[in-house]
Chains A and B, each alone.
Chain A
Amino acid sequence: MNKLEFLTRLRNSLEKGGLSKEDINDALTYYEEVFLDAGFGKEEETAASMGLPEDVAVNILRESGIHINPAPVMPPQNADGQNFNNNTAANPVKKTSGGTWALRIIIGVLTFPIWLPVLIVICSLLFALIVVICSLVFAAAVTAVSLIAGGLVTIFESPFLALMFIGLGLIVTGIVIIICKPAFNAFIPACGRAIKRFWNWIMRLFKKGDKENV
């Protein structure tokens, strides 16, 4: 195994073990230096003297409090000991994961002055965006209707102007329909389904009531 292969396999194992980026880089710097200090022509020999990179990784991870493979760390002496070891090995893992969850929740609660305003800002921006889009569509629809209406009213006084108004109104109507169609396509069936589900739910309530009465 050459230096590159050793270091690559070591990095992979450390990453798989969930070591922090900083610690991984520290370890790799160290081992790269070992290869360089051992001498250019001794890569294979150096790698062999250090053993498998995966085993090296297990040692580093253990020193950082990460136990991937607890079996070789404390080999069970007999059947009873094995049970005992398994229990003690399993419990701390649970505890630490519970601890980190609690820690995360505490951090989440403590930092609420930061994320709460951010959340509110994001929600208000989204709301504003939806309102703007809706009002633009609404304005376009109103314009279309008033153009057509205006055209119809003035059709006998100045027919050409009226035709232009009606035409513009139809164009805007078309644009509004094109924009709204996908939205309506999604929205109307959803409403239908919701109504149907609601209806079914009410019917079921009645049926249940009947059964209970019987």
Chain B
Amino acid sequence: MGFSINAGLLDAMVLSIVQNNDTYGYEITQYLRKAVDISESTLYPVLRRLQKNELLETYDKEFMGRNRRYYRITSQGNNSLEEYREEWRSHKKKIDSILLNEGAENNEQT
């Protein structure tokens, strides 16, 4: 499992998870774990950063007699996520062209 994940990609994935539906820290980590090996302590600074940049906002909701902090995406967050997705598509295409020899005719010409 050698590919390291960078901060930008992590931000984008968290935004995407929260865009699907409002959720809380522990659940976000569980989602992310399906794809990458991270712990709750990796996620907290990410959430804090997204919150400070006003891409996410929080609200408290009662759950079993305590407050659970839910995260909601802002309109700014939606815009940012769209940019991330666009960037990811072009990035993925470039990587695939090399790694999977997709669009190989281009490679052979050069």
Contact = CB atoms under 8 A, between A and B. Distances in A.
B69 interface: yes
Interface residues of B, number: 17
A171 interface: no
Interface string B51-71: 000000000000000101100
A34 B26 contact: yes
B43 to A, nearest CB: 9
A46 B26 CA distance: 11
B24 A37 contact: yes
Given A50-B40, A51-B39, A60-B44, A30 B25 contact: yes
B45 A60 contact: yes
A5 interface: no
Contacts of B42: 59
Contact of A34 (B40, B45, B48): B40
Interface of B: 24-27, 29, 39-42, 44-45, 47-49, 66, 68-69
11 contacts: A27-B48, A33-B68, A49-B40, A50-B41, A51-B39, A55-B41, A56-B44, A59-B42, A59-B44, A60-B45, A62-B45
